[in-house]
Amino acid sequence: MSSPTPWAEMRRRLEAAQQTGRLPMIQWPNETFIRPTAQPFLEVEGIGNIAEPVEMGRNGQWNEDGTLHVQVYVPRGTGSTLAREIAERVVRLFRGACEGPVVYRRTSIGAGEKETEGTGMWWRLPVYIDWEYQDRPTSDGA
């Protein structure tokens, strides 16, 4: 899981798009979620790969990088077009976004596959968005 600041920024972008109807329901980690029966939905995870110092000292800058991993789920047997359209909407939320301490780099839409756990009634398409975050702790170390 990524640290709180990049996670909050990524979640804010996805929730804003979901609230305007551009994205389907979102399943967040460790939160109650009831999967719809025949509607697309997203499953989201933020992965922090590594955090390392750029400057030495108590108040030195740290860089963290990671990947936002979004699984787009559509009902099995309905084709891949809808999943690909939703995946592209997700990617476009982050493409070129660099305002604030989180910068988004590469994106990828992976190969789809049928769900292997659960009911098996879903087909999923993974979306990966690489990000970088610069953090400078305050003088009290917080």
Q: How high is the pLDDT of residue 99?
A: 73
pLDDT-wise least confident of 14-18, 37-41, 57-61, 110-114: 57-61
Whether residue 55 is contained in a domain is answered as yes
Q: What is the pTM of this model?
A: 0.88
What CATH number has the domain bearing residue 20? Answer: 3.30.2000.20
pLDDT tens-digit map of 108-140: 999 999 887 777 799 999 999 999 998 766 655
Q: Where are the strands (E) in the chain, listed by range? A: 25-27, 41-53, 62-75, 102-109, 113-114, 122-135
Contact status, residue 63 vs residue 55, Cβ threshold 8 Å: no
Percent of the chain at pLDDT > 90 equals 61
77 lies in some domain: yes
Residue 95 lies in a domain: yes
- Work out the average pLDDT over 34-43: 94
Task: Identify whether 141 is part of a domain.
Answer: no
User: How high is the pLDDT of residue 138?
Assistant: 64
**pLDDT for 52 beyond 90:** no
What's the domain count of the chain?
1
Domain with 104 in it: 4-135
Mean pLDDT of 3-24: 95
Contacts of 77 (CB under 8 A, 6+ apart): 123
pLDDT grade for 141, boundaries at 50, 70 and 90: low
